[in-house]
Amino acid sequence: MDSLTHIALGAGVGALLGGRALGRKALVLGAVAQSLPDIDFLAGLWCNPAEDLLAHRGFTHSFLCIVLLAPLLSAGASRLYASADYSYKRWLAFFLLQMLTHLLLDALNVYGTGWWEPFSHERVSGNLLFVADPLFTIPLLGAASWLFFTIAPGKKFSVRPILVAFVFCSLYLLAALMSKRVVEKELLDTCQKKGIAFSRYFTTPAPFTSFLWYCVVADDRGFHVGYRSVFDQSEEFNLSYFLQQDSLLDLVHDREDVQHLRRFSQGYYVVRHQGDSLVFSDLRFGQQMGWVRPQVPFSFYYFLEHPGQNDFLIQRGRIAGWNQSNFIDYARRVFGSQR
């Protein structure tokens, strides 16, 4: 998830675990502990863009890392705050729970999280939440802000705001899961009606919501791609087709960056010519305004002939074309309008 969500969640969990003994320190330390796995952003200082894709949410997001790191953090915190009547075991539970919730939350996104590193490079992708979802973040942020201004060491404080926020977020995740199942059933029914023989598929939330879903169905030559809202009234599920064109990589398949890209994309990629460059696109991150223009390019694209132009790989296509008018059109599409 985005950093703001982790900060708000960490502050809330920190208040529940140590608010009475530590006061505001529990919120601040919770926010820091919850954000620690994302220290892997520093890998971008020495990794090239293709390597950085795998470094992010890699070892620092593994169970082994938090098992090794939590005791060290707990030993340091118990010495630094020895007067707070907060034992080493409580600190250990504090840091383990904070970093564990970070790992669990990140695994709900499409990016993939390396839970099992370094023993396995398989990544966990729940495809249930977009990386930034206001309906999930705002309740947590509101509760954490309220607690920050009302909590004090040694005094009683109300945990109701953070509990309400947790209940709301849990219900939202349940609604997202139900929405996903509805959309996947409609997708499979459409494939059956259209005679689409597929090998695998996935659905993942469109930007900022779990009510509009981006859907990809793979066959032996390419991918059927479309968007579906849980509020759509029409039975028709429009899918566009993109050839994978994997043969275009024959001359560069031994390159290290190409191998990294293939592994990162989990096989969901297409290759095409764009100008004087060969472009590798990871389908999992959606299209640039694809909900209104089905044949537009994909948000993630990597220039194989010009690797120096590949900064901000994940984000550059996600924000392309957004303006006030398009945002209004997008909101309408979320609620079922297909104009």
Mean pLDDT calculated for residue range 165-189: 96
- Identify the residue whose tokens are 């915190």: 77
pLDDT at residue 9, as a whole number = 97
pLDDT tens figures, 206-264 = 999 999 999 999 999 999 999 999 999 888 888 999 999 999 998 888 899 899 999 99
Half-sphere CA count of 244, side-chain side, radius 13 A = 17
Closest to 162 (Cα-Cα) out of 20, 14, 24:
14
pLDDT at residue 117, as a whole number = 95
Rounded to 5 degrees, φ, ψ at 256 are: -60, -40
Q: Alpha-carbon distance 150 to 98, whole Å?
A: 22
* Banded pLDDT at 319 (limits 50, 70, 90): low
pTM for the model: 0.91
Judge contact between 163 and 32, C-beta under 8 A. no
Residue type for position 271: V
pLDDT at 126 > cutoff 90: yes
pLDDT at 115 > cutoff 90: yes
pLDDT tens figures, 3-33 = 999 999 999 999 999 988 888 999 999 999 9
